[in-house]
Amino acid sequence: MKHSRRRFLKQAALRVGTGASAVAAAAASGAVAAAGLGLATPAIAQGLQRWHLVTSWAKGSAGPGTTADRLAARITAATDGKVDVRVLGAGELTSPFGVLDAVIDGAAEMAHTASFFWAGRAPAASYFTTMPFGLSPQAHSAWVRFGGGQALWDETYAPLEVKPLMAGNSGANMAGWFKAPLQSLASLSGAKIRTAGLGGEIYRRLGATTVTLPPTEIFGALQTGVIDAVEFLGPFSDRSLGFDQVADHYYFPGFNKPNGTAEALINANLWASLSDDLRAAVQNACDAENDAGLAEATWFNAQALAALRAGSTRIEALPDDIVEAARAASVEVLADYADKDAMTRRVDTSYRTALEALSGWERLYQG
């Protein structure tokens, strides 16, 4: 912790110095707006923090990319410009999978990404994005906010020295795009599928070969035949990435990712250094964007689905034997995963308790 704190303070000192010089020059010339800060002089006098938000997505990409942009704007506005957040898309400062280390090391103050990318470093992290046959978007949010999930998430990430917050949601996902039709379970044998999370392990046990790729590399791999299929998000994001141009078959239900929570990561030392009002403002901005992201995905998934139906895409249900085999495989996969370590067992227990309680309520009100 001390070593990380020294790195953070060194980076912060460099940025504050640079920011202070820019502000002083702008104030002297009476050209605050020209400095790109857009702040009134009193706000500058109270101190300005410039945060760099690195993401695992292409800047401005439909869904996660637009969520990151809105989140930055929300934090800047909610703090009256005391925290000025600038977004850097995947590859601008670091790779899509390098954003966690960038925040830990202080190269960036904040990241927008997905927790299951860090399963190799903290297995319990997977639960905070989604789990196969798991919580719906609304139920996941309820668990994190009111069912003890946030405290477990904080504890899971404490060794990584980052503060996690929900900050967007792509909603329920589709099962994926396939170049060749799926006739039965046998059709998955040898198929190369880009996927993420524990759904990948389920596909592997069903005979497929799973491939891990960052979002920015998926289209090229699908187009060139490096992969035969891709599971990413829902129609809104998938169509914007052009998957319908190279694959004809789009399957549901998305058993592997019934939820799509995005996370904001903030350097833990930076988070601790914030005043109570700034922490509350950042938290509220993340909460607001979490809700807005899900609303956006719900609306535009419907629009994109209609457009795909009007085109040449075949929207099809997965064969029954695939869903049945996936459900059976998930029992063993999730049981094995829960035994990774003590932290994962605790998170799994909490998650399963929430799933049982919330699924019962959802079934009741949905009829």
Domain boundaries, given as residue ranges, for the chain: 2-171+259-299
What does each of the 367 residues of the chain score in pLDDT, given as a tens digit? 444 554 554 454 444 443 333 333 333 333 322 233 333 333 333 579 999 999 999 999 999 999 999 999 999 999 999 999 999 999 999 999 999 999 999 999 999 999 999 999 999 999 999 999 999 999 999 999 999 999 999 999 999 999 999 999 999 999 999 999 999 999 999 999 999 889 999 999 999 999 999 999 999 999 999 999 999 999 999 999 999 999 999 999 999 999 999 999 999 999 999 999 999 999 999 999 999 999 999 999 999 999 999 999 999 999 999 999 999 999 999 999 999 999 999 999 999 999 999 998 998 888 7
CATH fold for the domain made of 2-171+259-299? D-Maltodextrin-Binding Protein; domain 2 (3.40.190)
Q: Taking Cα atoms as reference points, which of 365, 360, 233 lies closest to residue 294?
A: 233
> What local confidence, expressed as pLDDT, does residue 367 receive?
79
> What local confidence, expressed as pLDDT, does residue 278 receive?
98
> What local confidence, expressed as pLDDT, does residue 366 receive?
84
Question: CA of 333: how far to CAs of 85, 136, 176, 252, in Å?
Answer: 40, 19, 20, 21
Strands 162-169 and 83-88, bridge-based pairing: unpaired
What is d(CA 131, CA 116) in angstroms, rounded to the nearest whole number? 9
Q: Taking Cα atoms as reference points, which of 203, 170, 199, 174 lies closest to residue 293?
A: 170
> What local confidence, expressed as pLDDT, does residue 38 receive?
34
How far, in whole angstroms, is CA 243 from its chain's centroid?
20
Strand partners, 250: 177, 315
Q: Which two tokens stand for residue 129?
A: 């994005």
Q: In what order do the strands lie in the sheet with 110-113?
A: 83-88, 49-55, 110-113, 261-267, 162-169
State which H helix or E strand residue 55 sits in.
strand 49-55
